[in-house]
Chains A and B, each alone.
Chain A
Amino acid sequence: MLSCRKLLAASLAGAMLIAAAGCGGAGENPEAPEVALTEENSSLKNGHVFYDPPIQLNIARSVGPDAKFKPGQDVNKNDVTDWMLEEFGVKANYMWTTPTTDNAFYTKIMLSISAGEELPEFFSIPGAQAHELIDSGLMMPIDGLFEKHAGAKWKNAVAEVQDPWLAYTREGQVYAYPNFDYAYEHEDVMWIRDDWLEAAGMEAPKTLEDLRAVMDAFIHLDSSVTGFDKVYGFTAALQSNYTTWLGVNPVFGGFGAIPQIWMKDEAGDIVYGSTMPQIKTALAEFKDWIDKSYFPPEVGLMNEVAAYELFTSGRAGITMGATWCYDWPLQDVEKNVPGAKVGAYPIPNGPTGSFLQSGNGTHYQVVLFSKASKNPQVFFEITDYLYDNYAEPEKGSQFEYGFKDGFDYIVKDDGTVSYIEDDIPGGKASVLFFSAPMIPSQKIAIASYLAEGNEPETPAQIQKSVGWNQIFLDAARIVMSQKEYTVYDLFTGAPTPTMVEKLADLKAFEVSNFSNILYGKTGLDEGFDSWLSYWSSNGGVQITEEVRQWYKDAGGE
């Protein structure tokens, strides 16, 4: 064991050494020449750019289990790359691919940089890892390219996002294109066992008081109803991340503050949510829930999986989670427990008379462009084309039913369109370009439109609604109705110097201290005061100043 670890460490260090030996190129020549856009060979085809002779695009990506190819196709040769070549004269050359797990892509990029190898012209990477690369000075600013190539549809989609570029702005220039996700779909609704509600003869809770009453009724349900000797009112992941999915951040928000995110206090100043006095009241509430067994006894140890397992095994009545939580994993309870039924309900209001919930950010991945990239504009040209033609396709257009007949859908002999895996010869493939053109509001807007009993009509509505069920539609309608209560973490920049040094320490103290409060190991007043004084004496004050300064510099309001 020991020798294995040593060998591994040794070989890693060896790899780094070799990497360092060859690293002169990247380090000594940080000022890459101004990019010459090779547009001399471009002409127009169908109103968009076409390269003749074709240009080669040297890119890279991670390929996970969700990327499915047709038989005989691979990442360098498939329907999508063929289409890029025919439609745009762009030959996609994937220099390398990595698995999606274990940060493999990030590691490979870092090793390429240390070895001074050629970087992909552009690539997609989690936003949190992008900051380091941007600050390395090896990436290209892109605001000019976006302004030049993005059309109205694309710009409108980006305009839906609050502060779209803030996180990746350095001295007024934007260095990354965030792959914006659908908005609101990760926002929480309250999931309740409808059959328990019925057995208890109660309505879905609308306030915190109601919620307590319902939880109380649930834990006193007869075992002939629940099938268990002991059941719990509410299951949640309270281990260390208080804003995770299946957490309780909307209940915290009912008291007026969300822990672990940067938000504005009453005075309008940015503060770390966990230091706000409202959190103390919320902790007192949760302690009571543990004492009264509304929560399972191990709630302070539970992660998301433990939290949903309690629900899907039929031992907990309420949880709060995203719109997709019924599809996975919560509906399993209906298979595991005969007669179980799950329903989606609005988040109950807290003592403030309303509530807040933490938003999940506007994106996860961003696209970065190497300074040495010869054809960065291709990303924008193709993405713009997709926004114009694919995101909201016209009836009768090329993309009306999806990307390509036989690729992600099939027109059957009788003329009907099927998206079912088994109907498509060779299986359903997934589209493999960098970012599907997302209109953030599109998915939940369509779902809540359909929730009102409307039939899908437009091609986008028909395509998106494949496989949706009524419970998801209900959840979508609920998040649309409560979207103004979502607050986003205001700090999205690279970790500040004091954060790098102190934040992990502070967070460890925070969560262990809060757990001690929840389990009565320290008193509420004493515990919360010690957290506040720890925060201010161990770097919290400097971090707050740095965050406020960053927000001001990045242009937040």
Chain B
Amino acid sequence: MAVSQTASSAKVKPAKTKWRMETNWGLHAMLLPGVLITIVFCYVPMVGIAIAFQNFKPWLGFFNSPWLGLGNFERFFTSSSSVNVLINTVEIAVLKILTGLAVPIAFALLLNEIRVPRLKKTVQTMVYLPHFLSWVILAGILKDVLAVDGGIVNRMVSFFGGDPIFFFGDGNWFRVAVIVSNVWKEFGFSTIVYLAALTAVDTALYEAAMIDGAGRWKQTVHVTLPSIMPIIVVMFTLSLGNVLNAGFDQIYNLYTPMVYDKGDIIDTFVYRTAIVQANMSYGAAVGLFKSVVALVLILVSYKLADKFANYRIF
């Protein structure tokens, strides 16, 4: 998102060079509030990045707080948990990105095959409802559903003769719970995007494929998927920016010290070590690090998308 804003406002400038006031002033005037808001709320506050290099104290302000150079970054990277936390973050985020991409596409393709419009609409609405629930509520529900003692999932496991699974006490099972619940909550929302893309596929292509003797599966592979590939690339590129965002809301509401080894991510770590202790500079430093990594990843994937899928987002 950061990049899309950067890029869109960057595009304003070249447009200005060819600006024809007499014909287009109305359009430019409509653009102005957006540009101003972007500048005031996205660019001006970036000065605040300075506190990442300071030991910021509110009563000293920006100008009098002592400078630390890279001290805050050094503290993060030399902390004995930081490697573990970084690995957890990337692993959980990558799993979320991949499942968050594959499941909605598959589901959208399946849903697209349903011929009864009412059923299709109903299913579509049902699966995207969880998107609007907050993790605070869902965490309470999940803890109940996945409880060792009397949770519905573990009752089923016991019924089939398995040992109860300690979902929130075992790091690996914790990850499973996190990824699966995240997919369940979010896939409906992305599905809508792909469904919209599917309706835009030219039906003449299907007819041509059928005449060539392609069955349903062949049509999907050779017509549908290539047609929605640009959308998939866009969604993938945008989601790459989240590679260091493993989902604070979800993890914070679900984790306990028992799963720190597999479940503690940058955001929760910073929350405990910086925010709770009102150490704004440290928090800002880690936040800045995350943003820089996200920016680099998005730029790289954008170039790759341009090169291999011949698709430009901006």
Q: Which of B41, B257, B277, B278 meets A10, CB within 8 Å?
A: B41
B149 with A20: CB separation less than 8 A: no
Q: Tell whether A230 is near chain B: CB-to-CB under 8 Å.
A: yes
A508 with B59: CB separation less than 8 A: no
Among A151-159, A205-213, A422-430, A499-507, the one that faces the other chain is A499-507
A495 with B277: CB separation less than 8 A: yes
B48 with A17: CB separation less than 8 A: yes
The verdict on A504 contacting B272 (CB below 8 Å), with A132-B278, A519-B169, A519-B258 known, is yes
Q: Which of B242, B272, B276, B287 meets A508, CB within 8 Å?
A: B272
Interface of A, secondary structure class, is helix
A508 with B258: CB separation less than 8 A: no
* Least CB separation from A114: chain B residue: B58
Q: Complex formed: what's the CA distance from A113 to B48 in Å?
A: 17
The verdict on A515 contacting B258 (CB below 8 Å), with A11-B41, A27-B61, A114-B58 known, is yes
The verdict on A27 contacting B63 (CB below 8 Å), with A17-B45, A298-B168 known, is yes
**Residues of A with C-beta under 8 A to B59:** 23, 26-27, 113-114, 136-138
The verdict on A505 contacting B273 (CB below 8 Å), with A110-B58, A297-B166, A301-B256 known, is yes
The verdict on A301 contacting B169 (CB below 8 Å), with A16-B48, A495-B277 known, is yes
Among B16-24, B73-81, B217-225, the one that faces the other chain is B73-81
A239 with B257: CB separation less than 8 A: yes
A538 with B258: CB separation less than 8 A: no
A509: min CB distance to chain B, Å: 8
B103: min CB distance to chain A, Å: 18
The verdict on A515 contacting B58 (CB below 8 Å), with A10-B41, A508-B81 known, is no
Q: Tell whether A6 is near chain B: CB-to-CB under 8 Å.
A: yes
Q: Tell whether B1 is near chain A: CB-to-CB under 8 Å.
A: yes
B186: min CB distance to chain A, Å: 10
- CB contacts under 8 Å to A, within B67-116, are 75, 79-81
Q: Complex formed: what's the CA distance from A538 to B79 in Å?
A: 9
A6 with B2: CB separation less than 8 A: yes
Q: Complex formed: what's the CA distance from A14 to B49 in Å?
A: 11
Q: Complex formed: what's the CA distance from A361 to B64 in Å?
A: 36
The verdict on A500 contacting B256 (CB below 8 Å), with A13-B48, A113-B58 known, is no
**Residues of B with C-beta under 8 A to A129:** 278
B126: min CB distance to chain A, Å: 21
- CB contacts under 8 Å to B, within A287-304, are 296-298, 300-301
- CB contacts under 8 Å to A, within B224-277, are 241-242, 256-261, 264, 272-273, 276-277
A138: min CB distance to chain B, Å: 6
B256 with A239: CB separation less than 8 A: yes
Q: Tell whether B60 is near chain A: CB-to-CB under 8 Å.
A: yes
A512 with B45: CB separation less than 8 A: no
B194: min CB distance to chain A, Å: 19
Q: Complex formed: what's the CA distance from A509 to B79 in Å?
A: 12
Q: Complex formed: what's the CA distance from A138 to B277 in Å?
A: 20
Q: Complex formed: what's the CA distance from A330 to B82 in Å?
A: 41
The verdict on A240 contacting B256 (CB below 8 Å), with A6-B1, A113-B59, A301-B168 known, is yes
The verdict on A504 contacting B41 (CB below 8 Å), with A27-B63, A298-B148 known, is no
Q: Tell whether B142 is near chain A: CB-to-CB under 8 Å.
A: no
Q: Tell whether B301 is near chain A: CB-to-CB under 8 Å.
A: no
The verdict on A230 contacting B149 (CB below 8 Å), with A26-B59, A27-B60, A136-B59 known, is yes
- CB contacts under 8 Å to A, within B1-39, are 1-2
A505 with B148: CB separation less than 8 A: no
Q: Tell whether A7 is near chain B: CB-to-CB under 8 Å.
A: yes
Q: Tell whether B62 is near chain A: CB-to-CB under 8 Å.
A: yes
Q: Tell whether A3 is near chain B: CB-to-CB under 8 Å.
A: yes
Q: Complex formed: what's the CA distance from A78 to B258 in Å?
A: 50
A408: min CB distance to chain B, Å: 36
Q: Which of B2, B57, B75, B147 meets A136, CB within 8 Å?
A: B57
Chain A CB count within 10 A is highest, among B256, B259, B276, for B256
- CB contacts under 8 Å to A, within B132-172, are 147-149, 164, 166, 168-169
**Residues of B with C-beta under 8 A to A476:** none
The verdict on A504 contacting B273 (CB below 8 Å), with A14-B40, A230-B149 known, is yes
Q: Tell whether B44 is near chain A: CB-to-CB under 8 Å.
A: yes
B157: min CB distance to chain A, Å: 14
Q: Tell whether A37 is near chain B: CB-to-CB under 8 Å.
A: no
Q: Complex formed: what's the CA distance from A16 to B45 in Å?
A: 8
Q: Tell whether A214 is near chain B: CB-to-CB under 8 Å.
A: no
Q: Tell whether B42 is near chain A: CB-to-CB under 8 Å.
A: yes
Q: Tell whether A473 is near chain B: CB-to-CB under 8 Å.
A: no
**Residues of A with C-beta under 8 A to B64:** 27
Q: Complex formed: what's the CA distance from A239 to B284 in Å?
A: 29
**Residues of A with C-beta under 8 A to B148:** 297-298
A17 with B58: CB separation less than 8 A: no
* Least CB separation from A4: chain B residue: B1
**Residues of A with C-beta under 8 A to B287:** 9
* Least CB separation from A2: chain B residue: B1
- Annotate A306-318 by CB proximity to B: 1 below 8 A, 0 otherwise: 0000000000000
Instruction: Report the 4 A-B pairs with minimum CB-CB distance, sorted nearest first.
Output: A13-B45, A511-B257, A23-B61, A13-B48
20 of the cross-chain contacts (CB-CB < 8 Å) are A14-B44, A14-B48, A16-B51, A17-B48, A20-B61, A20-B62, A23-B59, A23-B63, A24-B61, A26-B61, A27-B59, A27-B63, A137-B59, A230-B149, A298-B168, A298-B169, A301-B256, A501-B75, A505-B81, A508-B272
A interface list, Cβ under 8 A from B: 2-3, 6-7, 9-14, 16-17, 19-20, 23-24, 26-27, 110-111, 113-114, 129, 132, 136-138, 230, 239-240, 296-298, 300-301, 495, 500-502, 504-505, 508-509, 511-512, 515-516, 519, 534, 538
